[in-house]
Structure 1
Amino acid sequence: MNAAGIRASRPSAALIGNVALLAALCVVAGVFFGLHDGDWFEVAPLRGRWLAASAVSLAYFGFAGWIFWRTRPKADEASAETASEASLLLAYASQTGFAQDLAERSATSLRAAGVHVRLRDLGKLDAATLASADRALFVVSTTGEGDAPDPALAFVRDVLGRPLALETLRYGLLALGDREYEHFCGFGHALDEWLRHGGAKPLFDLIEVDNGDEGALRHWQHHLSLLAGQPDLPDWTAPSYQAWRLAERRELNPGSAGAAAYHVAFAPPAGEKPDWRAGDIAEIGPRNSPAAVRALLDALSLDPEADIELGGKRERLRDIAARSHLPAPEDAAGMDAQALAARLQPLPHREYSIASLPDDGALHVLLRRMLRPDGSPGIGSGWLCDYAALGGEIALRIRSNPNFHPPHPDRPLILIGNGTGIAGLRAHLKARVAAGARRNWLLFGERNADRDFFYADEIRRWRETGFIERLDLAFSRDGGDVRYVQDALSAAVDDLRAWIAQGASVYVCGSLHGMAPGVDAVLRQALGEEAVDALRIEGRYRRDVY
């Protein structure tokens, strides 16, 4: 569905209707008052009746005032502030208030991280404001069969219905919908298509939310944290984790010029057989290092084994502290164990592409050991690469990611990735092998072939046995001209066109910056803008980039 296919009507229909109704009631009241002549018939209303009528009237006008206040433009919406390079435009289109609530939560999280956010109702957003923005986020719902929410119809009529040059805009989009409807997230997709045609570049791929799915909302929050440069932004709702077990941890690239990369395997809870598909995501609940927890509790002279009641259950203080942001000792001085536990805020989740299938007997991920400026490891990678004990418990939840699920086995598949992005592609290759699908083309790039060719033995075996029909590798630090995976794709555009003509899908996994836009540029140059947009709309061009 394109933007022109969305119904547009007068933006103030609800206001006009309410005003007309009140006017009609006033006319009726005036008519009846004109009919009144002289004293009240029989007897004047009792004083109590007058008071009751007054109370009802006050209640009505109070309720009407509350509705107006709830839907009023926020202070920063109503201001005439112009866009600046340091600000981020955040616009919402809401039918029931849910999209507005999510937009306000998003603004609060970003502001807490120091980002200047201008919150706007999409229906009050004009073309000039949008065109002057450098960065924008959109949170939009869909009503009926792919229609825009009523408050956004002015934007549909006045802005979305015509072309707009947006080459300098980078944007992200959260689309709310219900999969029971044929045009799931229809307005979100129409807005996304219009933005792309205007030259806007996505900060990350559109995120669909089916009936308020908390996993998809956490994925949105994950991108908010990356956008703000604050990976520790708290989750709005903590995932419902299961207790998995750390079964294996192995560094795959010792001596690499880049950060260490670890293959990590998790065994499922005893007696359970979790199910997932290629493309799905593992959400991990990280923990602080035992040394950091011990140092804080020692500084506060608190017993790590103290029995604490929190959230209706009892836990040890050290377990609560392990999964929470740790304050500086001076900020918690004088608190007892219960007060400290009540103050602690949980660490945000981390998410990783799953590199295995259920038949492997374990869930595999591939991750970089990330370091902070002070040299200490990041929250998620520090936990999984350094602190978690082999055989120890790992809080893990599987999140379905239907936007990156495999195509039909009969369809040829082009897989493109770099670095740890090979994890998601590995799961897809495993699924293709299991299905007997042999028309697979893998393009992979990293630094050095002798240290950074992750899962090389498997990939070579699949190539030798015919499950990878074509393999193109690009190692940028192996001497000669610097060559990246997008360069390998550019050198094979004739074959690319042939595969696409034969119905191939293109799946990209890896770096959001550098690789993903580079690959997208090659695709558009080789196939044309309209052809690439058609692939995306048909679901034949999918990405899992971060």
Structure 2
Amino acid sequence: MITIDPVRWGGALALSGVYLMMCLAIWRGRMARASAATGPADWLVVHASQTGSADWLAQRSVDTLVTGGLKARAVCMSRLDLDTLRGASRVLFIASTYGEGDAPDPGARFASEAMAAAPDLSHLHYAVLALGDSSYANYCGFGRQLDRWLAARGATPLFERIDVDRGAPAALGEWQHQLGRLAGTMDAPDWEAPAYGEWRIAARTLMNPGSAGGPLYRLALVPLDGPLPDWRAGDLAQVSAPRDPAHPREYSVASVPAEGRLELMVRLQRREDGTPGAASGWLCEDAGGQDVVRLRLRAHERFRLGTNARRPLIAIGNGSGLAGLRALLKERIDNGVRDHWLLFGERNAAHDSLCRDELQEWLAAGALTRLDLAFSRDGDRPRYVQHLLREHADVLRAWVADDAAIYVCGSLQGMAGGVHDALVEILGEELVDRLVSEGRYRRDVY
């Protein structure tokens, strides 16, 4: 005969009840997040980002609103049109600025089309979080332009626009406070960015000895303790330099985790008085193998491969932009993908043939289908990557027709604009806009 201890039986029932309540809470949370992502929403959180910061903040904003019981959904500005705005009542905009006051890539079509119109938005309540860098002349230019346009169309601000200078915590804290007030909750999710890890420089190599341009170094870093963290091709490394710890610098990661090290390509910058840049000077010249490098990784969703992992890939860049492109190519090659076309530009072939041996090996092995190089100072006239595109316009059209994705990495001034103009000239503005909206045209430019 089995004897049942009523005390133990009651305890077991109580534990089972607690477990079921926990499961129910987790299920409800997942259902709420799923509904917020796909279902109807009283609040739209529209994000326009070049490097992923606005995307990340938009999702944190949605989480805060959902915590307060509101129906909210994040929407990329590339998918926003006037009909959506006319049907919305409450919209939060998180908008970064690209270059000297321009809209970032996901906001370009909205800026050129929707903001050129004059719809009646008097029914709309909105707020704007403008992301920018005060070292640029048109600080938070696109966010401010968006705020003025909404007000001119009769929309009512929920609170004054908040400008964020290089991720300033105080400004982001004010945005969080306002969201908590709107949601009626102070129980907001944690928005803290990951802590900096401690790394050391395992190797540092000058990539362009004798170059007419600034020295470019290839750095290999490893953690001081613990395993190598995970990241994906396209992601960024944030470095907090001892000379300027409040303003971290971002660099495209040039390697994949399987290589056992984190690689960066860092151009040594010099100020007008000749002194080295706070971060690049320390990384390229001063930091030794025993010095601690404070570094953290940041996911850059807009420059990851994502749905383009198996499509043919057209990679376009110049200078240190090869870092981001090299990681993308390496990840795909390691996964057995071989349809790659690299178009790359630098100054002189004799001194600036970056990663030459590796690229030639990939080409010889068929991992690179095409490799086209432009060296701007080797001929009678300057020749850049945009010239390569025009010279091979028929090839470009054929690759795009074959479902290729286009990734651009490198300098904002000159290269990025020149490449974009060439793409529009060859493919047409409508197709280029469609490539952006489909995620097949992505840029990481600085």
Q: Which amino acid aligns with 1:432?
A: R
Match of 2:232 in 1: 277
Distance 2:76 2:352 in 1: 48
Offset of 1:256 from its aligned partner? 0.8
Match of 1:386 in 2: 285
Is 1:434 matched with 2:366? Answer: no
Q: Is the 8 A contact 2:131 2:167 kept in 1?
A: no
TM-score of the superposed pair, with normalisation by structure 2: 0.63
Q: Which amino acid aligns with 2:102?
A: Y
Match of 2:195 in 1: 240
Match of 1:370 in 2: 269
Change (3 A) 1:441 1:478: same
Match of 2:151 in 1: none
Distance 1:146 1:477 in 2: 44
Offset of 1:365 from its aligned partner? 0.5
Change (3 A) 1:426 1:376: same
How many residue pairs get aligned? The number is 308
Q: Which amino acid aligns with 1:253?
A: N
Offset of 1:408 from its aligned partner? 3.9
Q: Which amino acid aligns with 1:236?
A: A
Per-residue Cα deviation, 1:408-446 (whole angstroms, up to 9, x for no partner) = 443100000001100000001111110111110000000
In the alignment, which of 312, 318, 331 is matched to residue 418 of structure 1?
318
Is 1:463 matched with 2:363? Answer: yes
Distance 1:525 1:461 in 2: 33
Q: Is the 8 A contact 1:287 1:347 kept in 2?
A: no
Per-residue Cα deviation, 1:240-264 (whole angstroms, up to 9, x for no partner) = 2000111111111121111111111
Match of 1:194 in 2: 110
CA RMSD of aligned residues (A): 3.4
Change (3 A) 1:275 1:490: same
Is 1:395 matched with 2:294? Answer: yes
Q: Is the 8 A contact 1:240 1:397 kept in 2?
A: yes
Q: Name the SS for the 2:103 alignment partner.
A: strand
Q: Name the SS for the 2:407 alignment partner.
A: strand
Distance 2:242 2:75 in 1: 42
Runs of 4+ in 1 over 6 A off after TM superposition: 94-99
Q: Is the 8 A contact 2:385 2:415 kept in 1?
A: yes
Offset of 1:194 from its aligned partner? 2.3
Offset of 1:156 from its aligned partner? 4.6
Change (3 A) 1:450 1:198: farther
Offset of 1:287 from its aligned partner? 1.3
Is 1:255 matched with 2:171? Answer: no
Distance 1:400 1:269 in 2: 21
Q: Summarize the alignment of residues 173-252 of structure 1 with structure 2, pairs less than 5 Å apart.
A: 192-197=108-113, 220-221=131-132, 223-227=133-137, 235-237=167-169, 240-252=195-207
Distance 1:458 1:147 in 2: 37
What are structure 2's unaligned runs of at least 5 residues? 1-41, 48-53, 55-70, 88-99, 117-128, 140-164, 170-192
Change (3 A) 1:264 1:481: same
Offset of 1:360 from its aligned partner? 0.9
Q: Is the 8 A contact 1:234 1:347 kept in 2?
A: no
TM-score of the superposed pair, with normalisation by structure 1: 0.52
Q: Is the 8 A contact 1:286 1:395 kept in 2?
A: yes
Q: Which amino acid aligns with 1:369?
A: L
Bigger shift: residues 403-412 or 485-494:
403-412
Q: Is the 8 A contact 1:251 1:262 kept in 2?
A: yes
In the alignment, which of 445, 452, 455 is matched to residue 352 of structure 2?
452
Q: Summarize the alignment of residues 48-87 of structure 1 with structure 2, pairs less than 5 Å apart.
A: none
What are structure 1's unaligned runs of at least 5 residues? 1-93, 100-105, 107-141, 159-168, 175-188, 201-216, 289-323, 325-345
Q: Which amino acid aligns with 2:262?
A: L
Match of 2:434 in 1: 534
Q: Summarize the alignment of residues 515-530 of structure 1 with structure 2, pairs less than 5 Å apart.
A: 515-530=415-430
Q: Is the 8 A contact 1:415 1:442 kept in 2?
A: yes
Per-residue Cα deviation, 1:471-526 (whole angstroms, up to 9, x for no partner) = 11000111223210110111001000000000000000001111111111111111
Distance 1:146 1:381 in 2: 36
Q: Is the 8 A contact 1:414 1:505 kept in 2?
A: yes
Offset of 1:453 from its aligned partner? 1.4
Q: Name the SS for the 1:247 alignment partner.
A: strand
